[in-house]
Amino acid sequence: DAKTTQPTSMDCAEGRAANLPCNHSTISGNEYVYWYRQIHSQGPQYIIHGLKNNETNEMASLIITEDRKSSTLILPHATLRDTAVYYCIVRVLMNRDDKIIFGKGTRLHILP
Does residue 92 belong to the site contacting other proteins (CB under 8 A)? no
Cβ pair 80, 110 in contact under 8 A = yes
In the three-class reduction of DSSP (H, G, I as helix; E, B as strand; rest coil), residue 76 is classed as coil
- 43: contact with other proteins by CB under 8 A: yes
| Cα–Cα nearest to 40, from 74, 12, 81, 7 | 81
101 lines the binding site for other proteins (CB under 8 A): yes
Distance in angstroms (rounded) separating the CA atoms of residues 72 and 9 = 14
What minimum distance in Å lies between the beta carbon of 103 and other proteins? 6
**Residue selected from 11, 13, 26, 46 as contacting other proteins according to rule CB under 8 A:** 46
Among 7, 61, 63, 103, which residue interacts with other proteins (rule: CB under 8 A)?
Answer: 103
